[in-house]
Structure 1
Amino acid sequence: MLRILYLVPSLADPAVARRVAMLRLGGAEVEIAGFRRADAPPDSLPAGTVVELDVTHDGRMLQRLFATLTAVFRARGWARSFARPDVIIARNLEMLGIANRLLGFWPQPPALVYECLDIHRLMLRQDNLGRSMRLVEQRLSRSAALLLTSSPAFLENYFAQHGSPPPYLIENKVFAPEGLDIGENPALRGDIASIRIGWFGALRCHKSLTALDAASRALEGRIEVTLRGRPALTEFEDFAATTEAAPHLRYAGPYRYPHDLAAIYSDVHFVWAIDFFEEGQNSRWLLPNRIYEGCLNGAIPIALAGTETAAFIERLGIGLVIPDIETETLKAFFSALTPERLLALAQAVRAQDPVSFRCEKTECDALVDRLADLAPASLEKAA
């Protein structure tokens, strides 16, 4: 059995639990080391040994850097908690630095995999800081045998320019146990009295919040907006005050993944798949979780023209691509939206193959097989 050590920046990140479950379903044994964010207790992770390295704080880069350096210096101590892995997966750049430190602890080094699912704005700066960050990434990734990333646009617009290990694309599809219910658009049930938009997941875009508030006010309740998930409070002036004061916006708290997906998406007609966080760069290139969650459960995606998300739904022939999020643009579309048009949009999403949005066991098997290919000698020895 392939043994994987997974190094993660946030033990509370639901995406970490999903990746671990995916690796285990593919037949791997997984252990974890990582940091805990101060504002979020760790999820119950489906893994063997889990080692908490330190507590970090969202938005405090210097504190996170210090915590990372401390973890590097103390690595020989905490690494004793783990048997020698066949593969180390480092989820983002800071964990890649820690992983490089670990490689020399065993006579036969494990294979190293770099997992990069977002391109941080620091990496894209054109000043000395940005160039230095890219040089650090290039140096650390020389030891890596594989790059895991989630969008072809990351490869085209970043890694192809700056170099990387051989890439392996894993989309942010919904990972859910067999038999989990799939939702449907309320328009298919004749529920069209008011149009509802869902903005779910990582809430970190203040422009989206402002735009949805303004458009819903301008339309005088013709559209209602529900927010679910974890807001990045450092990105908003006052998230709670804004949502409480907005007459047609409602923040309904976090949700359980994947158990609540069918219910929350079945209650909205559209999924807001627009994000200006790190505008023009990462936000233009990513394929967010919500595009897969929403489409799997029948929600009609709304994407911004020129983004990878827009290209994704255009290839499938579904959803709405808008040129901007100005109030007049949104008002014009929703004012002209007829019940017939809404129903046609919902039917187009329902007609899609769920495999486009849901991770199947075959994908888990393929990923673990690819990882196993990186360390064939150690696996043969173990066998």
Structure 2
Amino acid sequence: MLRILYLAHDLSDPAIRRRVLALQTGNASVTLAGFRRGEQAAAAMNGVTAIELGTTEDARFLQRAGAVARACMNLGTSMRGVVRPDLVIARNLEMLAVARRAVALFGDDIPVVYECLDIHRLLLRNDIGGRALRAAERRLGSEVSLLITSSPAYVENYFQPLSGLDAPVMLLENKVLELDDENPVVPAPRPPTESQPWKIGWFGALRCRKSLDLLSRFSRAMEGKVEIVVRGRPAYTELKDFDSFMRGEPFMSFRGAYRNPEDLAEIYGEVQFCWAIDFFEEGQNSAWLLPNRMYEGCRYGAVPIAIAGTETARFIGGRDIGFVLQQASVDALVALFSGIDHTRYVDAATRIADQGAKQWTFRRRDCIELVNRLSAIANAPETASRNPAQVAAATMEMELNDR
């Protein structure tokens, strides 16, 4: 059985829970260590008790850097009693520093996998700070055996031209983890009755001020013909007035956090559309990502709404599904929904159903294949000795052909 040390930047992040569950399902033994984010509780995980390395805060880079430095100094104590892993996975840049320290403690021949599913804006700056951070990433990642990322646009726009990393790439999309149903089906269209409004779901990590303001103004302009249902974890560092803001909205409602993947069918079943737009790092990470909510919405029959010029728009456009706004404005949204009737909605939802649920899900078979891939890295030193450019090209070609 492959023994994995998984280093997490935020133990409360539901995505960490899903990844650990996927690795366990693939028959790996996982030791989880990482940082608690503020006062948030760690996500509950079956059979796994996380090793807490410290506490970090949102939007406080220097505080997080200090926490990482302290964690590295105390790692010998933190890891006391941990069985030597076969592989270390570092989720995000700060955990790559911890991974280097862990390898030094356990043995220099342990391969490291760098899992980077977001490109922080600090990495993209052209000033001395941005260059220094990229240099740190390049140094810390100089010997990684595999880079895991979730969107081809990250490779095209950052990892190939800017990062300086020279490692094989694995594209691992943010699909819905679904382990029970072997024959999943996308639900049928669910149009509202004549007396009910259309509903747009904005679910997940809530950090985008521009989306919040735009959806507020749009729902008011539609005077109740469209309602916005909001669920997830608000980032109060970005949306300090979120609670009071939502209380004042006549056509928007916040319904709290939810379990992922357990509650997805229920919450997406309440809406017809999925807000798959993010302006948090507009023109950079937000333009390149393929968000969880797009996969979740499509899996459960919610029609995605994207913005032109993004990887999300390119993705759904290539599959002839969803709606793409040409500009982020109230007028554009009003024009879109003024043209949506029962027939147009059913056609859009049917196009998603025709894609099949497997397009949007990460299944038991996928978990096994992922762990087999990681096992090959841990057990085959020749993988690291191959030409990294050749491996990266072959890997990307394989993964993109499978999409």
**Does residue 1:247 correspond to 2:250, yes or no?**
yes
Match of 2:177 in 1: 175
Change (3 A) 1:6 1:232: same
* Cα distance in structure 2, aligned partners of 1:112 and 1:191: 56
What percent of counterpart residues are identical?
47
* Cα distance in structure 1, aligned partners of 2:60 and 2:108: 36
The amino acid of 2:118's aligned partner reads: D
Can you list the C-alpha shifts for 1:290-338, whole angstroms capped at 9, x where unaligned?
0010000000000011111111111211100111221111111112222
* Cα distance in structure 2, aligned partners of 1:192 and 1:33: 51
CA RMSD of aligned residues (A): 1.8
* Cα distance in structure 2, aligned partners of 1:177 and 1:360: 5
Report how far residue 90 of structure 1 moved. 0.4
Change (3 A) 1:81 1:10: farther
Match of 2:239 in 1: 236
Match of 1:85 in 2: 85
| 8 Å contact from structure 2 (residues 185, 356) kept in 1 | no
Report how far residue 186 of structure 1 moved. 5.4
Change (3 A) 1:323 1:111: same
Match of 1:358 in 2: 361
Can you list the C-alpha shifts for 1:89-112, whole angstroms capped at 9, x where unaligned?
000111000111111223453111
| 8 Å contact from structure 1 (residues 185, 268) kept in 2 | no
The amino acid of 2:263's aligned partner reads: D
Match of 2:348 in 1: 345
* Cα distance in structure 2, aligned partners of 1:34 and 1:342: 44
| 8 Å contact from structure 1 (residues 185, 266) kept in 2 | no
* Cα distance in structure 2, aligned partners of 1:282 and 1:107: 35
Report how far residue 193 of structure 1 moved. 3.0
* Cα distance in structure 1, aligned partners of 2:220 and 2:50: 47
Match of 1:36 in 2: 36
Q: Which sections of structure 2, spanning at least 5 residues, go unmatched?
A: 382-403
Structure 2 residue matching 1:118: 3-state secondary structure? coil
Can you list the C-alpha shifts for 1:334-369, whole angstroms capped at 9, x where unaligned?
122222111111111122211110101222122111
**Does residue 1:320 correspond to 2:323, yes or no?**
yes
Structure 1 residue matching 2:202: 3-state secondary structure? strand
The amino acid of 1:260's aligned partner reads: D
Can you list the C-alpha shifts for 1:160-215, whole angstroms capped at 9, x where unaligned?
11232211111000002313986736535767831110000011101001010001
Please say which of residues 103-112 and 62-71 is displaced more in the overlay: 103-112
Structure 2 residue matching 1:72: 3-state secondary structure? helix
| 8 Å contact from structure 1 (residues 183, 265) kept in 2 | no
* Cα distance in structure 1, aligned partners of 2:221 and 2:363: 42
* Cα distance in structure 1, aligned partners of 2:195 and 2:25: 40
* Cα distance in structure 1, aligned partners of 2:152 and 2:117: 11
* Cα distance in structure 2, aligned partners of 1:185 and 1:171: 24
The amino acid of 2:179's aligned partner reads: P
Please say which of residues 334-343 and 3-12 is displaced more in the overlay: 334-343
2:306 to 264, 286, 303: 303
* Cα distance in structure 1, aligned partners of 2:143 and 2:45: 28
**TM score, norm. by length of structure 2:** 0.90
* Cα distance in structure 2, aligned partners of 1:176 and 1:232: 27
**Does residue 1:136 correspond to 2:136, yes or no?**
yes
Change (3 A) 1:115 1:47: farther
* Residues paired across the two proteins, number: 378
| 8 Å contact from structure 2 (residues 189, 350) kept in 1 | no
Q: Which sections of structure 1, spanning at least 5 residues, go unmatched?
A: 379-383
Report how far residue 17 of structure 1 moved. 0.7
Structure 2 residue matching 1:328: 3-state secondary structure? helix
| 8 Å contact from structure 2 (residues 186, 356) kept in 1 | no
* Cα distance in structure 1, aligned partners of 2:122 and 2:113: 22
Structure 2 residue matching 1:199: 3-state secondary structure? strand
The amino acid of 2:264's aligned partner reads: L
Match of 1:381 in 2: none
Can you list the C-alpha shifts for 1:34-72, whole angstroms capped at 9, x where unaligned?
011123101122354521111222222222111110001
Change (3 A) 1:59 1:81: farther
Structure 2 residue matching 1:193: 3-state secondary structure? coil
